[in-house]
Amino acid sequence: MPPSTSSTVEEEWSFFEDHYEDLDHSEPDSDRSEIGPDPMSSSDSEPDTDEPSGAPQTPSMGLRAQAIIRVLQFMDGNGVTLANLLDGISWGDEDCTSNAKIRNERTRLLNSPELPGILRRWWKPPRPSRSKKRRPNGARAVMQEFSLECTQQILEVELESLEKLFKSPVGEDIKEEHLTGISFHKMVTQVKDMAPNLWKVLFRLARTEPQQKRNPHKNPANTILIMISMFSYSRTHHRGRLQKLFSIYFKFRGLSAKGFDTLHAIGLTMSNKWTGNAVGRISAESMTAMKRLMDLFPWIMSYDNALVPFRVFAQRIDHQSGVGNGTAGTVYIRRSAKPLPSTINRDLQEMRAMGMANPLNAFDIFEIAELADLRRYPHTIYLILQYLFNSPDFNFSTYDGRDHDLLQQPPPIRQLPFGKEHIFLQYLLGTVNIPEASYEDNSRLIEEWLKQLGRDSPEWQKKIALELVMAWVGDQLTVDRLRNLFRFRAEDDNSFERLDWLVIPPGWLHIQMAFANSIHKQHLGTRKGRGLSAAFDILGRKGLQSAHTQGPFFHDLSEALHFIAEAQVREVWLQVGGVKTLADLRTRTPEDLHRLAEKIFSRHASNAALAYLKQRKIVDDLKTQSIMFLRDVLPFVLLRSAVRSGDVGIMEDMIPPDALPISWWPEFVRENCFVINNTGRPNGFMPVDEAQEMNIKDIKVTYRSEGDWKFLKKLHPAIHVIRAVNSHMETDKHTVPKKELDIQELQKWYSSSEVHKLTPGRVLKKSTKKQSSDVPKDVLAKGNAGIQTSESMANWIETRTIEGATTQDWDVGVSDSSDEE
């Protein structure tokens, strides 16, 4: 006989109390629970009770529970357990799999919205709110093992789907486009799309929820990407795309061989041996690519002396530390350059013969310079306007007339194209142990470069002599050596030996350096005067009191000259405008500002201003000094700007005598041999010899590597790829300190000194044997006098200068701002 109803109910309540024990989640005032048995007990099996299977149902039991009990009783009568039932429905055997009724119920179960809740309760059974008993385990152990098996299979499939993303086939792995084509942001997006579950699991493990609340900006995306790449690389070394990128990057950021072994052991990089071999393969690939492009596009070359330090860690008689004196070369190729005509070699020889028959005289040079000055005049006026517009007091961005045509930048004289399609490709040649000290050394270098270029065979020599022309750019020493070598070989047997095929344009970096050094020498003065020496002290620029040819001297001097020029021109704006602050000039019209800029040039920065003082016999050494400085420094600033922007027209007009020897070749030399652009940006131009200096810096410092000359010759052709990899990996966030405080301090000094105000009678002390002079020498006038070969030439120059001076409305003792002068 089944037990009574009352005893059944009492046993059920006793069952719950025996199996729940959760001291942290209990309510002590309750000894009953409204929830069924918690499967998270110490055992996965349900506890036994004394209740017979056919016990009658209590009236308080729900209909759902009563129905389930009846089903269970029916199953007991047919010898089927709940486990047998679930196993049969879940493809337990062939009959259960093929039966339509079972199949339909299986489908309903697997697509039921209740299934996730069932599984979650199996994993973590519900806990009675008032129970003090321990939570039963349920199916945690079984489900944990099963879920781990499922997770492993899911993640493994997703990891394999990323094969193409991390694959790096041999041959392609060393190419620049393959290495620099890696975008971490793009790869993160691809991994998220192709392996979403793998990404979610690692993302959840890499950052906790409290971390997210404390620092919502922290994103472990790159960390997870590297982890996945290491997993993929661990499965096969063919999937080491990121490892190869890191290897090349770390190799030339100073990572030692032991460091490589450590990172390779954890799967972050390739081995040190692989990296060394890869550099050799990159060099060979670079030389092959360079020769292939040289056959398709015009190209130029530069080379310069390189002092390479060698260090040894175990010194021997034949193995000592020291500095090697060698030479490094670079080939530049712009794929958008216009092809050279087939008659170029003959055209060059005919033009040289014509030039020798019709040499330039002094009149020709001065006429060319006069035309160049006229073309450059609008750009000089715009530079003077820019000094006003760049001042914070004027605030040009809110000036009403800022869009007026007179205030816009004039069109360039001859602007080189820019953009990605006009980028110059640089290929470094192998550095060789041949110094550039003598003519014999340069003769050997010509043979060495032709050998590395693959153009040293008799067939190539004949082709070069009869059909080709090569432009080799260098610094002053290189150009001087090659030009003299060209003269020395004038009577050699054939055109190749005579170097008739060689064109030697000057390097514009060294032209700028000579220009700046000339200004420094002419206007240095003393620390008690108003020249550059005193200005350097105010700016606190150390190392500029004496000229140097090495180190950062030119960069520091150029920056200081820019600051001094801007401070002086701002002060002249106040004087010519008749105002106390530059903000007061905002009330002037664009026409007025343009007219004042022209007046600043004519009265305070021109030869005409000096001629006026000379004509009127006005002696004011301080005013003469300021006029000469602005006359000399404004062209230098304009030249620097033209080089950066690629306006080769201004560059050629700036120093016409230097540009004249190559004016026979207006297209190729001007467009390819003055400046290059290796970024494609509008202001990304630099002189060819400056690019060569940067390559030598990379050889000596940035990508310095231990080895002998043989190793360096093998290594250096790979530097352009190494540089591209480093640039791709790094983001340069270097900022230049603001210059405004420096300029304002200089402007106050010039204002208190009244250097720009015409005050007759101011005389500076001349130089003595013990003291230097604050009176600068007019180098330009001295140079002009040196080429005045006749009285008529001297009168012509004097007439042109005086004509420019007498057209100005000067009057001593009258303010510049007066309209009546």
229/24: higher pLDDT: 229
Q: Is residue 779 packed enough to be buried (19+ CB in 10 Å), middle (13-18) or exposed (0-12)? A: middle
Distances (CA, A) of 9 to 61, 189, 208: 10, 59, 46
Are 772 and 630 in a shared domain? yes
β-pair partners for 330: 302, 428
Same domain, 62 and 190: no
In a domain? residue 742: no
Q: Are strands 470-473 and 675-677 parallel, antiparallel or unpaired?
A: unpaired
Q: Output the CA angle 600-602-606, nearest 5 degrees.
A: 110
Asked whether the CA dihedral 410, 411, 416, 417 is positive or negative, the reply is: positive
Give residue-wise pLDDT tens across range 666-714: 578 888 999 999 989 999 999 999 999 998 888 877 776 666 777 778 7
Across the strands, what pairs with 471? Answer: 300, 503
Tell me the pLDDT tens digit for each residue of 116-161. Answer: 898 888 888 887 677 777 777 788 888 889 889 999 999 999 999 9
Residue 634 lies in a domain: yes
Residue pair 713/537 in contact (Cβ under 8 Å)? The answer is: no
On the 0-12 / 13-18 / 19+ scale of CB atoms within 10 A, 167 is: middle
Share the mean pLDDT of the chain: 82
Do 512 and 643 touch, CB atoms closer than 8 A?
A: yes
- Look at residue 676 and give its three-state secondary structure: strand
The lowest-confidence range among 271-285, 286-300, 538-552 is 538-552
Taking CB atoms within 8 Å and a gap of at least 24, the contacts of 438-446 are 439/481, 439/484, 439/485, 439/488, 441/327, 442/478, 442/481, 442/482, 442/485, 443/485, 445/303, 445/327, 445/329, 446/499
CA 123 – CA 144 distance, rounded (Å): 8
The predicted pLDDT at position 817 comes to 44
Q: Are residues 657 and 677 in the same domain?
A: no
pLDDT band at 380 (very low <50, low <70, confident <90, very high): very high
Same structural domain for residues 158 and 231? Answer: yes
pLDDT score for 322: 64
Give the pLDDT score at 29: 37
Residue 276 forms part of a structural domain: no
248, pLDDT greater than 70: yes
Residues 263 and 289 both lie in one domain: no
Q: Is residue 820 part of a domain?
A: no
Q: Is position 349 within any domain?
A: yes
Mean pLDDT within 515-528? 90
Whether residues 342 and 403 share a domain: the answer is no
Residue 644 sits in the same domain as residue 514: yes
Is residue 747, in this structure, part of any structural domain at all? no
Of 733, 748, 765, the position where a domain reaches its end is: 733
Number of domains in the chain: 4
Partner residues linked to 308 by β-bridges: 324
Domain stops at, among 248, 270, 292: 270
Q: What is the dihedral of CA 484, 485, 490, 496, to 10 degrees?
A: -140
Which pLDDT value is given to residue 718?
84
pLDDT at 53 exceeding the cut of 80: no
pLDDT at 213 over 90: no
- With respect to residue 751, please indicate whether it lies within any of the assigned structural domains: no
Position 5 scores a pLDDT of 40
Same structural domain, 385 and 446: no
97 and 45 in a common domain: yes
Task: Say yes or no: 607 and 519 in one domain.
Answer: yes
| 289 and 407 assigned to the same domain | no
Q: Are residues 186 and 254 in the same domain?
A: yes
Buried b (16+ CB within 10 A) or exposed e, 717-728: bbbbbbbbbbeb
What span, in angstroms and rounded, lies between the C-alpha atoms of 623 and 610? 9
Collapsed DSSP state (helix, strand, coil) of residue 640? helix
Q: What is the domain range of residue 207?
A: 150-270
For residue range 166-183, list pLDDT tens digits in order: 999 888 888 888 888 888
| 7 pLDDT more than 50 | no
Whether residue 366 lies inside any domain: the answer is: no
